[in-house]
Chains A and B, each alone.
Chain A
Amino acid sequence: MAMSQINHKTTEKNSTDIGSAVSVQNISKNYGDVEALRDMSLEFPRGQLTSLLGPSGCGKTTLLKIIAGLLEPTSGHVEVNGINVSGPGPDRAFVFQDFALLPWATVLKNVAFGLQMRGVAASEREAIAERYIKSVGLAGFENSYPHELSGGMRQRVGLARALSVDADVLLMDEPFSAVDEQTRRKFQEDLLSLVRDENKTFIFVTHSIEEAVYVSDQIAILLPRPSRVSEIIRPSSFRNKGVDNIRRDSEYLDIVDNIWSSLRTYVE
């Protein structure tokens, strides 16, 4: 593999002045009496993967949907590429925890759906969709229906759909939580190469500590009651050691341990 390229990228990432693709400023969100988020601020560096990690119910999905423009914050605002978010936009694409595929449509139609909503002509969007179906490894399944696919394959469809609209920012809500462990590991490796190859900013929600540490350039630990960012961790040394060595790396193991000790008090 082109080691030099990775090293180059790593040094680039270590420089602090990359700039933020997404900037969350003083966001609060109440659902009636439930205070889901309180005065939360967070920066998401461009071209990197940031994980939102925390126990369930701490507001990860809420934050992600506010960034997506699917939910209105009670107060505060979100900027994407310096522009205030007031709703969904072509600069962001969402990957859903439950895949959110149209069960009545083929894989091809599902992947092309985002492009269709953006007014791309049928022949063009199907050509693009076919390309992305191939790139996620589903070539040959273009005319299958979602119920004919395994969970892992379905999420690949969801991923291809999000990639095909070529948004700057990819929002992923626990995308691998509904797939089996082996598939999940493969997904995590693929995600690393995706972050490396595509010039996109990834915001990745997970409740798995190992997963967050494995895939992230930056991990934001969220804690509940009141919901807040308790810590931001930036793994530095193991990203360029190759996918096979990460889980043995001592920094990787230390970070996993540290996160666990700060989260364990919140697990009942």
Chain B
Amino acid sequence: MYIFGYRLPGMSSLVVWGFLWEMIGRADVTFFVPPLSEVFTTLYSIIGTVAFKNALAETAYAFSLGVFFAVTIGVIIGILMGKNRLLDELLLPWVNVFLSAPLTALVPVLMVLFGFGMKSIIITTSLFAVWIIILNSRAGVKQINRSLVEMANSFGASPIDAFFKIYFWAALPEILGGVRIGIIRAVKGVIIGQLLISIVGFGALFELYSANFLMGHFWAVLLVLFGLAFSISEFLAYLERKVAYYAAKR
């Protein structure tokens, strides 16, 4: 955006919102919104504590494993669905159902099936992320140029070769887009998992802070979470731009 001929750096609007937040906080409109400066000082004070580090470690562990399974399974199933009509007809209705289903309602079922531990949290995280990854990978394969596949076949490519050297690369721009959205959903999944299944990690912190009306603490943890999700998503967007040069001409 330009103001008075000066190009503003990205995210400049955050400054405006931050300022507004500070004002509302100072005006003491509601206990729910403490001044932003207070949130930052709280953040600074809790970021070194053992409780915070443990919460971060637990959340990061569940999150990264959950995302790992979601990406691996999602990309493989998505590509296979794009390649194979039968598999596609079989699975697509389910993928669409789960994509829009209120997954939070399924969490109690997962608890019955997989217990109250880390396993259920990881599965919840994967469950939130995997559907959009499947759908995007599938879409990436659907628009592949048929003659690339024929080309690979004509040189005697095995199905495994075709999968990793043609389909995967051809679908990569869409796959990255799917992973990016999937990861944002996984953040939601891991926190919901931690709140509903067993009170651990950031979920436990949210629970603790909101129950005790420690809004400064609450917002501080939320900011950390937002910052992490934002960085990962920006990194993936960067990767997407790197493959964009061929997204238009496959």
Contact = CB atoms under 8 A, between A and B. Distances in A.
B52 interface: no
Interface stretch (A9-17, A99-107, A204-212, A259-267): A99-107
**Interface SS of chain B: helix, strand, loop or mixed?**
helix
A131 interface: no
Given A103-B250, A104-B169, A104-B172, A117 B152 contact: yes
A223 interface: no
Interface stretch (B39-47, B93-101, B241-249): B241-249
A57 to B, nearest CB: 18
A113 B156 CA distance: 11
A69 B153 CA distance: 9
Contacts of B30: none
Contact of B148 (A94, A100, A117): A100
Contacts of A100: 145, 147-148, 150-151
A70 B154 contact: yes
Interface string B1-31: 0000000000000000000000000000000
B154 A102 contact: no
A116 B160 CA distance: 13
Interface string A85-97: 0001110111011
Contact of A165 (B153, B155, B172, B245): B155
Interface residues of A, number: 26
A247 to B, nearest CB: 32
A88 to B, nearest CB: 5
Q: For chain B, which range describes its interface: under 10, 10 to 19, 20 to 34, or 35 or more residues?
A: 20 to 34
A98 interface: yes
A88 B149 CA distance: 13
Given A98-B145, A104-B169, A117 B246 contact: no
Nearest to B148: A100
Interface string B133-170: 00000000000010110111111110001000110010
A73 interface: no
Contact of A68 (B148, B154, B165): B154
B143 to A, nearest CB: 13
A118 interface: yes
B151 A88 contact: no
A175 interface: no
A114 interface: yes
Nearest to A69: B154
Given A102-B169, A104-B243, A145-B245, A70 B155 contact: no
A69 B249 CA distance: 27
Nearest to A115: B155
A117 B155 contact: yes
Contacts of B151: 94, 96, 100, 113
A103 B249 contact: yes
A147 interface: yes
Nearest to B154: A94
A147 B153 contact: no
Interface in A154-187: 165
Given A98-B145, A102-B148, A88 B249 contact: no
Interface string A35-70: 000000000000000000000000000000100111
Interface in A134-157: 145-147
Interface string A193-209: 00000000000000000
| Of A70, A90, A117, most B-chain CB atoms within 10 Å | A117
B246 A96 contact: no
Contacts of B165: 113, 116
Contact of B147 (A89, A96, A117): A96
Nearest to B243: A104
Contact of B246 (A65, A104, A113, A118): A104
Contacts of B245: 103, 145, 147
Contact of B154 (A93, A98, A116): A93
Given A98-B147, A165-B155, A117 B250 contact: no
Given A103-B249, A103-B250, A104-B243, A96 B157 contact: no
B169 A96 contact: no
Contacts of A117: 152, 155-157, 161
Given A70-B150, A100-B147, A165-B155, 8 more contacts: A90-B156, A94-B151, A100-B150, A100-B151, A102-B148, A113-B152, A117-B157, A145-B246
6 contacts: A97-B147, A117-B152, A117-B155, A118-B156, A147-B245, A147-B246
Interchain residue pairs A-B with the least CB separation, the first 3: A103-B246, A100-B151, A117-B155
